[in-house]
């Protein structure tokens, strides 16, 4: 039975996704890992369409972690070329749906052609405000928090910040994208039950949705199923359920 997103009462403002299972999906079919990543790119496209239709304002996908630099050079090169190819092929959809592109992570570590192609789309979509697509690239949450601590320490040393005034908001204000609201829903595919160094600070009060579906098989209907599950969650933030 298909799910009508228009009938869901609660739509999360921000959904984060750990896109897992590309390699296993490919292995089951006797294909290369890169073929799995190519099919996974189609799932990103499908989720963006579904999110726009449902009214989700922010989508953040974990595309490439700081740990992923340890993968074979051939796979890394293939992923970077796939990213450029996907932007070339699907940028018009971002414009059609008025979706803004942003990137979080160690942008400077990415190959120059990737940085230039990303920046082109970032600049071209910068004025859109209804929906935002965030790609976590060369991203690690512990590094992000450490970088925030360094910035705060510099301000304390320079006399610009009183250490006694440091609170949770201070940390948030020094993260990579401080203006983006925390995700209300985090989706992880392929059944894995870990965060993998993804948005550790921002996911503190997020609802988790874990599915055994491999990422290349995760499309619009699977995304709506996650939204429906979110509708049944009682979010109390440590408080007591109201009668």
Judge whether 86 lies within some domain: yes
68 is catalytic: yes
> For the CA atoms of 89, 93, 98, 101, what is the dihedral angle to 10 degrees?
-30
**pTM summary value:** 0.94
Judge whether 225 lies within some domain: yes
Q: Catalytic pick from 6, 22, 68, 96?
A: 68
Judge whether 150 lies within some domain: no
Q: What is the pLDDT of residue 237?
A: 57
- CA nearest neighbour of 199 among 43, 61, 10, 44: 61
Q: What is the pLDDT of residue 47?
A: 96
Token reading at 180: 């983006």
> How many domains does the chain contain in total?
1
Q: What is the pLDDT of residue 242?
A: 56
Q: What is the pLDDT of residue 2?
A: 82
Q: Within 13 Å and on the Cβ side, how many CA atoms surround 67?
A: 7
Judge whether 16 lies within some domain: yes
Judge whether 154 lies within some domain: no
88 is catalytic: no
pLDDT band at 6 (very low <50, low <70, confident <90, very high): confident
Judge whether 157 lies within some domain: no
81-to-77, 78, 102, 114 alpha-carbon distances in Å? 6, 5, 18, 8
Report the Cα–Cα distance between both ends of the chain, in Å, rounded. Answer: 32
Express each pLDDT in 61-95 by its tens digit: 999 999 999 999 999 999 999 999 999 999 999 99
For residue 41, the domain's CATH number is: 3.40.1180.10
Boundaries of domain holding 37: 12-141+182-231
pLDDT band at 159 (very low <50, low <70, confident <90, very high): very high
Judge whether 2 lies within some domain: no
Express each pLDDT in 131-146 by its tens digit: 999 999 999 999 999 9
Per cent of the chain over pLDDT 70 is 96
Judge whether 166 lies within some domain: no
């Amino acid at each position: 039975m298909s799910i009508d997103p228009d009938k869901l009462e609660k739509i999360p403002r921000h959904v984060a996704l750990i896109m897992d299972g590309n390699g296993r999906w490919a292995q089951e079919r006797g294909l290369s890992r890169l073929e799995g990543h190519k099919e996974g790119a189609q799932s990103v496209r499908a989720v963006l369409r579904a999110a726009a239709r449902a009214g989700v304002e922010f989508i953040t996908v974990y595309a490439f972690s700081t740990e992923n630099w340890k993968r074979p050079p051939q796979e890394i090169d293939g992923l970077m070329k796939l990213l450029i190819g996907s932007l070339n092929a699907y940028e018009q959809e971002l414009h059609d749906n008025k979706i803004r592109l942003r990137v979080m992570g160690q942008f400077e570590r990415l190959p120059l052609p990737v940085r230039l192609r990303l920046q082109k789309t970032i600049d071209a979509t910068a004025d859109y405000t209804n929906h935002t697509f965030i790609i976590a690239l060369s991203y690690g949450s512990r590094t992000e928090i450490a970088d925030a601590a360094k910035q705060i320490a510099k301000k304390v040393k320079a006399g610009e910040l009183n250490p006694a005034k440091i609170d949770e908001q201070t940390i948030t204000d020094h993260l990579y994208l401080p203006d983006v609201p925390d995700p209300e829903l985090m989706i992880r595919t392929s059944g894995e039950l870990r965060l993998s160094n993804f948005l550790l600070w921002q996911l503190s009060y997020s609802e988790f949705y874990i599915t055994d579906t491999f990422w290349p098989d995760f499309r619009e209907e699977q995304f709506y199923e996650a939204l429906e599950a979110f509708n049944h969650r009682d979010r109390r933030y440590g408080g007591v359920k109201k009668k």
